[in-house]
Each structure stands twice: as structure tokens, then as C-alpha cells.
Amino acid sequence: MNDIRDGQEMIAIVERPEFQTYWRVSKEMIDVCKECEFRFMCMDNRIPQPRASETWFHEKECPYNPYICKWKGEEGYRTLAECGVVSNAEGFSIDHERIAAINTELWGE
Ligand code: SF4
């Protein structure tokens, strides 16, 4: 068991670089999330992964797809891949035409 005996031990933990790694990583810096309407209040517990290009991504897909405003399980839901959105260690790309076609089908616009 790792008991913290005094405030100095807590300060030492908090000052460690590995503890601070994610302090400055906001949803606005993470691909997919940066375009989601829930990004300012989202309580996501996934750990973001950095790319060499100093951009960020998630390895596991969120159950919400912000490109079509649908949650997994909702009628009409599609995965990111089905929408032509790729976000992984290699990079980030969006097929805007495919998303537009899906939104027309789902929402009639
Ligand atoms: S709901 Fe999902 S896509 Fe939207 S900000 Fe939260 S984790 Fe990202």
C-alpha cells in the first residue's frame, strides 16, 4: 500500500512529468473530439494518445459520432469508419462527401 504521509510527498507526486502528461491536453486538441458539440463538458475516461506530429487521437472509438449526431444504438448510427473518418496513430482524415451524403439520408438536409 502506498500511503502518503505528508504534503511534501503529494507535491513530489504531482510534480512528476508523467503525472502532468495530460494536464494540458484538452478536447480541442484531440481529433474527432475537437469537432464534437459535447467537447466542453465531456467526461471521457479514455486516455488520449500522441502522434509524432503533436496531434492527439483515441485508440478506442467513442460511442457518440459527432459527424452525424448519433449515439451507438440509435437508429441510423454509423461508426466513424462507415462515415469515412479515420483517426489513428498514422493520422486523421475525413471524407466530407460521404458524411454529407449520410447526413442527407439521416436528417434530410
Ligand atoms: S462525446 Fe465522444 S466524441 Fe464527443 S467530446 Fe466526448 S469523447 Fe469526444
- CA-nearest of 45, 47, 84 to 67 is 84
Q: pTM higher than 0.85, yes or no?
A: yes
Rounded mean pLDDT of 83-103? Answer: 97
Sign of CA dihedral 54, 49, 94, 24: negative
For the stretch 58-85, pLDDT in tens is 999 999 999 999 999 999 999 999 999 9
* Torsion of the alpha carbons at 45, 51, 53 and 56, rounded to the nearest 10: -10
Rounded mean pLDDT of 96-104? Answer: 97
- Ligand 1 neighbour 64 (Cβ under 6 A): yes
Domain ranges of the chain: 27-107
- Ligand 1 neighbour 69 (Cβ under 6 A): no
Give me ligand 1 centre to Cα 2, in Å: 33
- Ligand 1 neighbour 33 (Cβ under 6 A): yes
Q: Which three cell numbers stand for residue 30?
A: 484531440
Cβ–Cβ < 8 Å for 46, 56 = no
Rounded mean pLDDT of 13-39? Answer: 94
Q: Which three cell numbers stand for residue 35?
A: 469537432
Distance set, CA 40 to CA 28, 61, 64, 96 (Å): 9, 18, 15, 24
What is the three-class DSSP state of 31?
A: coil
Decide if pLDDT at 33 tops 70. Answer: yes
